[in-house]
């Protein structure tokens, strides 16, 4: 069977000193999962031809492959950053040892260092992101207190990697529906195995919030007849929810926000799958689905919420779960919905079966 790793090793001596060949090998190394070698090969190629724009573009493609573009927007979310920074300043004491799950750029780890933490261990599952984060941390003068460990948090060993349980656990592995980043299993394991009993957790808890909404975008309405052809069966393949920016003018809330599910990240206890059904009262008007967003309770004093509003800004999108068809509602009319989560994802749907008299 063809062995890509052996082929790369065989080609390496011939590629030495040749920038294009070295970049080609970097691409193969990335494909073969040899992330750190790919980074070194990219840098060698660029050093051989620093002014070659083709090579620079290829290097970005090789290194950035698989790195989500949201890394560039989350660090620009000033409210998110301020919520973490304030919570860290409240939690960190002289001597505090911190574990961060999910280094990314290293921003939160450096905030913890700036707040005065004695030691920060930050784990990152992506080796190329980890390597670049190390460079950023050194560039900003925090390499003496911030240590990047290239591991998924589940693989961290409390003695070998942390030199004992930490005082404070921080993370920002939160997705638009709160749960998709494995936030529940990751916290349950980390709190039990890596944190001192009673240690701090930032964020301490989270809520999934929702409201009746109208989404005016064409692309989220179901398919019908297009160019004379009935495409409606394709609606069976539609995604359960559609992302929309918090300030998008096409999103109108049609009712008060409700809390669907709450999660305690700090307890370490297993959080079981759950389902709820409830009536939502409409302000009146056309309702096309349910808008869902998140609230992060950083600690007893601070929180972050990406509530949709015309002047709001957030790196987290709102998710709209569309109804099978729009409903024209009167003010005060109750619309029944159900929601469930399986610890990893949530679902929300129109469900009038539990409303009195329906
Ligand atoms: C949303 S980013 C946050 C980056 C940075 N902490 C910040 O808040 O700006 C999450 C990062 O954590 C990493 N990650 C997610 N889950 C992880 C886990 N359980 N263990 C290690 N790294 C993880 C991802 O690869 C990604 O780089």
pLDDT in tens, 133-171: 999 999 999 999 999 999 999 999 999 999 999 999 999
* Residue 287 Cα to ligand 1 middle (Å): 36
Report the percentage of the chain scoring pLDDT > 70.
99
CA dihedral sign, ordered 133, 138, 142, 146: positive
β-bridge mates for residue 295, sequence order: 207, 305
pLDDT at 80: 98
Query: Is 127 a pocket residue for ligand 1 (Cβ < 6 Å)?
Result: no
Please provide residue 264's backbone torsions phi and psi, each rounded to the nearest 5 degrees: -95, 110
Residue 254: band (very low, low, confident or very high) from pLDDT cuts 50, 70, 90: very high
- Ligand 1 atom index nearest CA of 129: 27
- When mean pLDDT is compared over 35-44, 111-120, 344-353, the highest value belongs to 111-120
Is the pLDDT score of 358 beyond 60? no
Structure confidence at residue 356 (pLDDT): 61
For ligand 1, pick from 107, 173, 176, 190 the residue to mutate: most ligand atoms within 8 Å of CB.
173
Q: Is 234 exposed, middle or buried (0-12, 13-18, 19+ CB in 10 A)?
A: exposed
Q: Looking at ligand 1, which atom is closest to the CA of residue 126?
A: 25
pLDDT of 357 strictly over 90: no
Does residue 153 have its Cβ closer than 6 Å to ligand 1? yes
Is the beta carbon of 67 within 6 A of some atom in ligand 1? no
Q: Report helix, strand or coil for 47.
A: helix
pLDDT band at 227 (very low <50, low <70, confident <90, very high): very high
Residue 214 CB: number of other CB atoms within 10 A? Answer: 19
**Residue 47 C-alpha from the chain's centroid:** 34
Residue 101 alpha carbon to ligand 1 centre in Å: 6
- Residue 211 CA: distances (Å) to CA of 159, 254, 354: 46, 7, 18
- Residue 183's Cβ-count burial label (10 Å; 0-12, 13-18, 19+) is buried
């Amino acid at each position: 069977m063809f062995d890509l790793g052996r082929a790369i090793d065989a080609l390496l001596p011939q590629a030495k000193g040749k920038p294009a060949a070295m970049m080609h090998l970097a691409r193969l190394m990335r494909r073969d999962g040899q992330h750190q070698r790919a980074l070194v090969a990219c840098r060698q190629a660029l050093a051989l031809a620093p002014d070659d724009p083709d090579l620079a573009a290829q290097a970005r493609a090789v290194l950035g492959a698989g790195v989500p573009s949201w890394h560039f927007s989350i660090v620009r979310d000033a409210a998110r950053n301020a919520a973490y920074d304030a919570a860290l300043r409240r939690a960190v004491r002289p001597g505090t040892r911190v574990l961060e799950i999910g280094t990314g750029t290293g921003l939160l780890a450096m905030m913890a260092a700036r707040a005065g933490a004695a030691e920060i261990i930050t784990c990152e599952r992506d080796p190329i992101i980890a390597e670049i984060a190390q460079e950023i941390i050194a560039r900003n003068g925090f390499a003496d207190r911030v240590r990047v460990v290239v591991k998924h948090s589940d693989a961290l060993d409390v003695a070998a990697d942390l030199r004992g349980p930490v005082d404070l656990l921080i993370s920002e592995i939160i997705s638009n529906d709160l749960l998709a980043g494995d936030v529940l299993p990751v916290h349950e394991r980390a709190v039990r195995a890596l944190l001192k009993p009673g240690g701090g957790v930032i964020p301490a808890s989270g809520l999934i919030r929702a409201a009746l909404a109208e989404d005016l975008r064409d692309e989220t309405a179901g398919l019908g007849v297009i160019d004379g052809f009935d495409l409606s069966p394709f609606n069976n393949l539609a995604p359960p929810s559609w992302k929309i920016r918090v300030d998008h003018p096409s999103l109108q809330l049609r009712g008060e926000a409700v809390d669907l599910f709450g999660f305690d990240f700090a307890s370490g206890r297993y959080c079981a799958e759950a389902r709820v059904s409830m009536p939502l009262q409409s302000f009146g008007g056309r309702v096309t689905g349910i808008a869902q967003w998140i609230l992060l309770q950083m600690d007893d004093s601070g929180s972050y919420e990406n509530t949709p509003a015309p002047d709001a800004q957030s790196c987290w999108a709102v998710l709209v779960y569309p109804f099978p068809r729009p409903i024209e509602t009167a003010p005060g009319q109750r619309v029944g919905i159900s929601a469930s989560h399986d610890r990893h994802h949530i679902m929300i749907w129109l469900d009038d079966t539990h409303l009195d008299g329906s």
